[in-house]
């Protein structure tokens, strides 16, 4: 995924002068992650967690149409417990990246409203069991899902800066983690995992 991000940013840098332009920016906001933990022959448990986060993004505009292609990258790592317990097995999520298409409609005041749809992925690593007698593993190396969003962009201000106010919803595929203790294995699956975000961005158009 890091290679995809590098290639995209390089393509953006080389192409913005030749096509309709682009945008680079930073965003800050809150995210609400909900997920249902499913264990065979047991009761499903739904949990949620709120957090603040920052991200960087870049877009380039397609010529002659109000459409842009972009990538957003969250340069943070998150430790996620299998069932929310501090003593339980856990894994790390990193390099959360979303590649998206964004359609805009200009408003009379010089700003715009936009809708976006994309594909999100995060690397899964360091699947670890906190107990010495327990082993943990996951068949998946990435957390994947689809993203949709709506936003408003202000008119261009001094230095070519714009502000954005945005809401997104990302629905992730199921991810399973298997723990083994004394020869007995148990698989827990995270289902119906959704991330809802509300962010404000500052960006510069070229």
Q: Residue ranges of the domains in the chain? A: 2-205
pLDDT at res. 86: 44
pLDDT at res. 137: 62
| Residue segments in the chain with a per-residue pLDDT below the cut of 70 | 1-20, 37-49, 78-91, 126-140, 179, 181-184, 186, 190
Give Cα 169 to chain centroid, integer Å: 9
DSSP conformation class of 139: S
- The fold adopted by the segment(s) 2-205 is Porin (2.40.160)
Contact between 112 and 105 under an 8 Å Cβ cutoff? The reply is: yes
Provide the pairing of β-strand 67-81 with 90-106: antiparallel
Q: What is the pLDDT of residues 70-99, one digit of tens each?
A: 999 988 776 665 554 444 556 677 888 999
Give pTM, 2 decimals. Answer: 0.79
- For residues 115 and 153, what is the distance between their CA atoms, to the nearest angstrom? 11
pLDDT at res. 206: 78
pLDDT at res. 105: 94
- For residues 197 and 191, what is the distance between their CA atoms, to the nearest angstrom? 19
- Please, which residues have CB within 8 angstroms of residue 138's CB and are 6 or more apart in sequence? 91, 124, 127, 175, 176, 177, 178
Q: What is the pLDDT of residues 136-163, one digit of tens each?
A: 666 567 788 999 999 999 998 888 899 9
pLDDT at res. 87: 47
pLDDT at res. 123: 84
**Which residue blocks in the chain are alpha helix, DSSP H?**
2-15
Q: Region of 160 please: left (phi>0), alpha (psi -120 to 50) or beta.
A: left
SS3 65: coil
Token pair of 119 as six digits: 């594909």
Instruction: Of 190, 178, 195, give the one whose Cα is nearest residue 36.
Output: 190
């Amino acid at each position: 995924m890091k290679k995809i991000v590098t290639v995209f940013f390089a393509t953006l840098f080389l192409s913005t002068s030749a096509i309709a332009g682009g945008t680079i920016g930073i965003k800050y906001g809150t995210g609400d992650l909900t997920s249902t933990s499913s264990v065979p022959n047991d009761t499903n448990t739904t949990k949620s967690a709120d957090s603040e986060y920052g991200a960087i993004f870049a877009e380039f505009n397609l010529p002659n149409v109000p459409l842009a292609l972009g990538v957003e990258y969250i340069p943070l790592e998150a430790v996620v417990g299998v069932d929310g317990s501090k003593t339980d097995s856990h894994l790390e999520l990193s390099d959360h990246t979303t590649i998206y298409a964004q359609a805009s409609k200009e408003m009379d005041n010089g700003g715009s409203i936009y809708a976006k749809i994309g594909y999100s992925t995060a690397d899964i690593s360091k699947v670890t069991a906190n107990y010495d007698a327990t082993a943990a593993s996951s068949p998946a190396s990435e957390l994947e899902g689809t993203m949709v969003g709506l936003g408003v962009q202000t008119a261009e201000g001094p230095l070519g800066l714009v502000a954005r106010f945005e809401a997104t919803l990302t629905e992730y595929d199921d991810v399973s983690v298997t723990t083994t203790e004394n020869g007995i294995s148990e698989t827990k699956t995270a289902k119906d995992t959704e991330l809802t975000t509300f962010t404000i961005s500052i960006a510069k158009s070229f």
